[in-house]
Amino acid sequence: MKEVEKPVGIFDSGLGGLTVFRELRSMLPGENLIYFGDTARVPYGTKSAEAVIAFSKEITSFLLARKIKLLVVACNTASSLALEEVRGISPVPVLGVIEPGAAAALAAAPRGGRVLVTGTTATVNSRAYSRALAGSGVKVAERACPLFVPLVEEGWCSKPVALQVAREYLAPFRGRADALILGCTHYPLLKKVIARVMGPRTRIVDSARTAAQAARDELAARGLLNPGRRGRSEFVVSDAPERFSALAHRLLGIRTGRVEIKRF
């Protein structure tokens, strides 16, 4: 297999990283993509750092065995806690979602403005976004929203409970943020609800889109873009493939076809 024809690997704790997959598929239709969702162990946001690092390294080894040319850690929790450990075992480039999201927030907020980071408890406690935004002149606030991931995984993004939960977390920040970072790749599925709570003044930064753009730029810089027109898509999960496939179609319009199971 030619180097450019090798797949791009993407992994997340569940189906949230499919938001990155969808953006990559749209931007780079010729790329072969392999997605791993750790559906047996979702959510990562309530797990210890040691557990997230162990899970991330297991999945990375699995994807490396599939001869990937680039790895996208499409999970903010794993990006904030395990990125360096993953890079330490990977012979191919590894991209996370923190730095691209932080850069997009800086572009959206004026100097001296306010940026609100939303994420899992683990991501917020890691202060990864605060470190990425340090010295930029913006004021950073962070809000853990741990119920957002299970809402998405249940397929309840458009139910009244989603708006109720979003208001509970975010109402105190309405009108007080120039930009809000969706610091979890599940959260773009709640973007409309979050934007409604925050109001029109706040720019919503989609970490899935910025991560996909970073991956495209990395492939281009390394001369690894696949010039093909229609790349193949593969999906692997650690549990419940039928449920994963059904939610991927219902929430994101992604038809997965057969989903492989890999248990650790």
Domain residue ranges of the chain, discontinuous segments joined by +: 3-96+209-261, 98-207
Which of 28, 52, 74, 75 is an active site residue? 75
Active site residue 157: no
Q: Is the distance from CB of 173 to CB of 115 less than 8 angstroms?
A: no
Query: So what's the pLDDT on residue 1?
Result: 79
- The third-level CATH classification (topology) of the domain covering 98-207 is Rossmann fold (3.40.50)
Query: So what's the pLDDT on residue 32?
Result: 97
Query: So what's the pLDDT on residue 228?
Result: 79
Active site residue 145: no
> What is the Cα–Cα distance from 70 to 63, expressed in whole angstroms?
10
Query: So what's the pLDDT on residue 130?
Result: 95
Query: So what's the pLDDT on residue 190?
Result: 96
Q: Is the distance from CB of 50 to CB of 78 less than 8 angstroms?
A: no
In this prediction the pTM is 0.92
**Residue 99 pLDDT greater than 90, yes or no:** yes
Q: Is the distance from CB of 175 to CB of 199 less than 8 angstroms?
A: yes
Q: Under CATH, to which class is 3-96+209-261 assigned?
A: alpha beta
Which of 18, 184, 198, 251 is an active site residue? 184
- Mean pLDDT to the nearest integer, 105-118: 94
Q: Would the CATH topology of 3-96+209-261 be identical to that of 98-207?
A: yes
Q: Is the distance from CB of 139 to CB of 114 less than 8 angstroms?
A: yes
Residue 81 structure tokens: 């806690």
129-134: list long-range contacts, CB under 8 Å, 24+ apart.
129/80, 129/98, 129/101, 129/102, 129/181, 129/183, 132/98, 132/99, 132/102, 133/102, 133/105, 133/106
3-state helix, strand, coil in the chain (%, to 5): 45, 15, 35
Residue 246 structure tokens: 């059904």
Residue-wise pLDDT tens digits, 165-223: 999 999 999 999 999 999 999 999 999 999 999 999 999 999 889 999 999 999 999 99
> What is the Cα–Cα distance from 151 to 247, expressed in whole angstroms?
12
> What is the Cα–Cα distance from 208 to 78, expressed in whole angstroms?
14
- Mean pLDDT to the nearest integer, 235-255: 96
